[in-house]
Structures are given as C-alpha cells and as structure tokens.
Chain A
Amino acid sequence: MAEAMTARASDVLWRRPNLLLLLLVIPPLLWLGIVYLGSLFALLAQSFFSIDEFSGLVSYEFTLKTYGELFRASNFDIILRTLLMAAAVTVAAAIVAFPIAYYAARYARGRWKAVFYLGIMLPLWSSYLVKVYSWKLILAKEGILNWLFETLHLSWLLNAYLAIPGIGGNSLSVSWTGTFLVFLYVWLPFMILPIQASLERVPASMLEASGDLGARPGQTLRHVILPLALPGIVAGSIFTFSLTMGDYIIPQIVGTSARMIGQAVYQFQGTAGNIPLAAAFAVVPIVVMGVYLTVAKRMGAFDAL
C-alpha cells in the first residue's frame, strides 16, 4: 500500500518536474527570504530610528540622526580602524595564500594533495575560540614567540617593534599586531581555497605558451597567472574582508582596548541598549562590501569566471 503511494508520488513528480523543483526550492527560499532577508530589513529599519537621550528609549520615528552619529570622531575611528584592519588582513592573506595555493594547484599530486587539503581544513575543524586562545598564549609575554626571540638574542628587535606606537604594545598579545596575526591565521583558509580553485583551472599549456612567446617566469606571473587567478583572489578577499569586519571576539581576546565595529555593535545593542546605533554600525560592513564588489566587478575581476 505504502509502496503504491510512493510509486504514485514518484509518477506525479516525474510528469511535473516543476512541482519537484518547487518542493526542493521552497524550504531554502523560506529560510533565506524570511529568516535572513527579514532580519536584515528589520536591522535596516532599526538604523533609521533614534534613541531618546533623556529617557534612553527608542523613538520610532524616521531620522538620519543615528547615521550622523557614526561620523562622530569616536565612532568614526572605530569604522576607520576596522576597515584598515580588514584591508591589512586581506592583503597579507592574499600574499601568504598565493604561493601555497600555487604549489597545491600546480605541483601537489595524489597523497600531497590530500595532505594539503588536510592542512588547510584541519584548523577549521577545531573550535574558533580554542584557536584564538592558543594564539593569545603564543603571543603572550611568557609565550613561545618571546622565548624564541630571547633564545636567538633578538629580544631587542621585538622590543623595538613593540615600541612603535599604534601597532605595538606591552606584548604582542595586547598589541594591534597581535590582533592582525590572529585574524590572518584564522581567515587564511578562506583565501587559499578560492585561489587554489582558480589556479587549478589554468592549464599548464597556458604557462608554457607564455614562456614560448618569450615571457620570463616573472612576466608570465604578471600577465597570465595573476589575471587568471584574480577571480579567486577577489572571492577570497570577500571572505577575509567581511569576516574581519564583522568579528568581535578576536579583538576582544587578543589586542588593545580600542574597539572594532563588531565589538561596537555588541556593546551598543547589549549593555548600552542603543539598538539604532548598533544597527547603523552593522549597516557599515554591508555598504562597504557592496561598494567593494561593485568596484571589483568594474575592474573585471569576474570576467574570467
């Protein structure tokens, strides 16, 4: 009986493939449409309200006042600092990731390819918090990095570096550099994998053709490999940039007391109870990413897709 029912259901779906498609698509559409876009619009709406300074209550009237507050020096610093960090992490990640991805795409075969994937993915399997705390230990004054510099009699170098205002601090774990290093480590896989995927699609004959036509390896890198890897680099940078912009845990555990956007959102919506300003802050990364993607598209980063 049950068998006959499923058989009939299969027949109906076979005759009406669109019905099958609809059944497959509706759950994710509901999820994306209501849960994701809905909360996004709720957030957007909140950012156009403001908070009454006397009562501390949200006044539900349309205003751009909250956005204006973003440009107050203390708030604008947070935005600037976050963008700078996100940009630095993205550039560094691209530089570090490229050779690794290139090796994996061009030379790694069989077992080494498996080792590569394992090496990239393994850090993603362990808890994010564990990784961040272990970095705090690595970077601490009593940590292994300090020990290494001491053993090599290079403590003066580290101290000179830490004395640089802005990026230095008491130790690496409470410096801006420390935050940067942890971000770089945590988001690196998200840069390596897309670059590797884009390089994987460049046939070896393309590089040989470039050399055949007189290009030295450096010229081939500039005129053939980099342009063809660009979609991967852009895809990776979207990850590293947006993940850095939105993160509020790493700068809280490793780094200075100066806040980033994620922390500001967390505090304004929590302890401060200023939901409109938190919402306005949260809109900043969205706008920045929108602009970033538009510029990337204009530059032709997606042409080779």
Chain B
Amino acid sequence: MTTAVSFRSVSRHFGDVRAVDSVTLDIAEGEFFALLGPSGSGKTTCLRLIAGFEQPTSGEIAIFGEEATAVPPYRRPVNTVFQDYALFPHLTVEENVAYGLMIRGEGKAERRRKAGEALEMVALSGFGGRKPSELSGGQRQRVALARALLMQPKVLLLDEPLGALDLKLREQMQGELKSLQRQLGITFVFVTHDQGEALSMSDRIAVFNEGRIQQIGAPSEVYDRPETPFVADFVGSSNVLPAAVVKTLTGIHAPASLRPEAITLGDGCGLTGRVTALSFLGAATRVEVQTAEAPLSVLVPKGRALPGIGDTVTLGWAPDALHVMERGDG
C-alpha cells in the first residue's frame, strides 16, 4: 500500500499559537480520509499544509514519497475544493473548470471538450456558459469539484465542502462524493467539523483538538473505542465518566466513555439518579439523569416507556459498553 500523504512531526505556529502541533500522520493511496475537529483545532491548517498554502514551522511533509516542504502549490500533484468554492467571478463556468488546462497551455478545443466531460460528471451539462453568480450553492460546489478533478490530482483536498449547503442537499452530496471517490480511486482528504459526516463517509478519521491528533482510526473504532475523553465527547457526544467513578465501578483509575444509547433505564446494575430533562429527537428521546457521581445522558428509543421529570431511575448497561480510556490525557 502506497502512502499518499505523510506528516512527520509537523508543526505550524502562528506567533504563539500552535495551530498544528507535532502531527504525525499517514494517509494511504485511495483512502477517503477525514480530518475531524472543532473550529480552531488545526484540521484546516493541516489541509493547507498539504496544498502548500502554508509552510510547516518544523517537521516534514511528503506527497507520494516526495518531500513537499519546499514545493510551491502550483507544482504539487494535489487540488483543492475550497470552503467558499473560490470560483473566479469574471469567468464562465466552463472557463472556470478549464482554468488549469488554460494555464497549462492546452488548446481551446481540447479545453472545451474536457470541461464538457467534467461538467457532465457532476451533472451540470449545459451550464458551461453561465457565470458562477448565476448558480445555486450546490451547483457552485459541483463546479469547484469538477474544476479540481479535471486536473487529475493524486490527492483531492476538500475543505468543509458541504458546510454551506442545507441539510437535504448535504446528505445528497455526501453520497455523491463517496461514490465519485470509489469510482475514481483518488485519495480524498476531507476536512469537517461534522462528526456525523465524518463517520458516514470516511474510511479513516483523524480527530483533532488544539492542534494535536487525538486519535486516528476507522469510524467504528473511533466511535466505539475512543482513546481520549475529548474524542468520546466530540464524536457522538458520549458520557465521559470521571476516573474516580470508574474506579468504583471497575477498579481501574481512568476516565471511561459510556454511549447514551448503550444505557437502559430500569434494570439496574449501575447507578441511580433523578431525571432532570427530556428532549425529543424523533427516533429517540434524550433523557438527562443527574446521578450522585456524574450527569449522564440516556437515549431511549421510540416506543419504550419514558420516565417523567423528577422521577428516580436506575441505569444499567452491558459490561462491555463501558469503554475505559487508559490514555486519559486529552
């Protein structure tokens, strides 16, 4: 398996701010890789380091085995879909898509043909003559995608490409992006702050916080076996039990993650507490329970009996549902 992008203890500091703090990372060829984290966690800076818009303060970046640190963006085999799409307002859709070919000096007929094909791939045939300002957000997003893919990059970088779209369109584009990636076999590196998006689309996820990678792994790994309390809370908003509580339950002194959907009400093997709030989520209801040890969220699927606010309930879970995070530093 070839490594598409590799970071070796890469840091990028802006003055005193450590935007990226000694990150080591390997992205395999053909992988759909998500950089997940809250805003300001360093995920976008990592993407910009791959694209070449930022230079690392220290460390080494290689793209397909070639040292990339001193290579300017216009010579890297990667292309970017920008968060704001960055379409050129003075050019038509077709000219935007063929911009890279024009720069490369390809003939006009060739440019038209390839741009036509690329627009067809993103289902925008016939829009070539329009200006970007005449397109909807979703259409602009596709134009940006076609423009980047036409350059046949070895790695496609996507900076929160779905952030500006509404929910319905976002779900549709998630599916389309995923199938496009499978079809083309190109490595996709995808920046997002939406954990649901990262879980549903990626082969692997790197979870970022404060410039550092908290965990790298497949979506199910990151979800089921979070390594740090931050990951547990950020991915799927798990209950994080403090180390002292975990010690009384298991004997190990370390924080633990307990998924809200893994807790059942009534058949007590664990803790008891008082219900403080209920929120209806559609397929389930979130019940907030204040126990003596910690506040816990419980997800009760539709159809089960719900307690009332102020009721005292007993909480239970399967033994393996409690995931102890021995590396409890995040």
What residues make up the interface of B, taking CB atoms closer than 8 Å to A? Answer: 51-53, 72-74, 78-80, 82-84, 86-90, 99-100, 102-104, 147-148, 151
**Which of A203, A212, A215, A303 is packed against the most chain B CB atoms within 10 Å?**
A212
Q: Across the A-B interface, give the 9 residue pairs with the lowest CB-CB distance, nearest first.
A: A213-B100, A209-B86, A205-B86, A211-B73, A215-B103, A227-B90, A205-B82, A212-B80, A214-B103
Q: Does A242 contact B (CB under 8 A)?
A: no
Interface of chain A, main secondary structure: helix
Q: Does A216 contact B (CB under 8 A)?
A: yes
Asked whether, in the complex, the Cβ of B86 is within 8 Å of the Cβ of A228, the reply is no
Q: Which of B79, B84, B90 contacts A205 (CB 8 A)?
A: B84
Residues of A near B90 (CB, < 8 A) are 227-228, 303-304
Given A213-B147, A215-B103, A223-B103: A208 touches B89 (CB 8 Å cut-off): no
Q: Does A219 contact B (CB under 8 A)?
A: yes
A218, B26: Cα distance in complex, Å = 34
**Which of B72, B73, B86, B104 is packed against the most chain A CB atoms within 10 Å?**
B86
Q: Does A120 contact B (CB under 8 A)?
A: no
Residues of B near A304 (CB, < 8 A) are 89-90
Asked whether, in the complex, the Cβ of A208 is within 8 Å of the Cβ of B51, the reply is yes
**Which of A205, A210, A214 is packed against the most chain B CB atoms within 10 Å?**
A214
Q: Which of A203, A215, A224, A303 contacts B74 (CB 8 A)?
A: A215
Contact with B along A216-241 (1 / 0, CB 8 A): 10010001100110000000000000
Residues of A near B147 (CB, < 8 A) are 213
Asked whether, in the complex, the Cβ of B86 is within 8 Å of the Cβ of A214, the reply is no
Asked whether, in the complex, the Cβ of A211 is within 8 Å of the Cβ of B72, the reply is yes
Q: Can you add 9 more A-B contacts, CB < 8 Å, to A205-B86, A208-B51?
A: A208-B86, A210-B103, A212-B51, A212-B148, A213-B148, A215-B74, A215-B99, A227-B90, A228-B88
Residue of B nearest to A216 (CB): B74
Residue of B nearest to A219 (CB): B103
Asked whether, in the complex, the Cβ of B79 is within 8 Å of the Cβ of A213, the reply is yes
In the assembled complex, the CB of B17 is this many whole angstroms from the nearest CB of chain A, namely: 16
A100, B78: Cα distance in complex, Å = 33
In the assembled complex, the CB of A165 is this many whole angstroms from the nearest CB of chain B, namely: 43
Q: Does A84 contact B (CB under 8 A)?
A: no
Residue of B nearest to A231 (CB): B90
Residue of A nearest to B144 (CB): A209
Asked whether, in the complex, the Cβ of A213 is within 8 Å of the Cβ of B82, the reply is no
A122, B297: Cα distance in complex, Å = 63
A216, B100: Cα distance in complex, Å = 11
Asked whether, in the complex, the Cβ of B74 is within 8 Å of the Cβ of A211, the reply is yes
In the assembled complex, the CB of A303 is this many whole angstroms from the nearest CB of chain B, namely: 7
Residues of A near B86 (CB, < 8 A) are 203, 205-206, 208-209
**Which of B78, B90, B151 is packed against the most chain A CB atoms within 10 Å?**
B90
**Which of A211, A215, A228 is packed against the most chain B CB atoms within 10 Å?**
A211
Given A214-B104, A223-B103: A208 touches B80 (CB 8 Å cut-off): yes
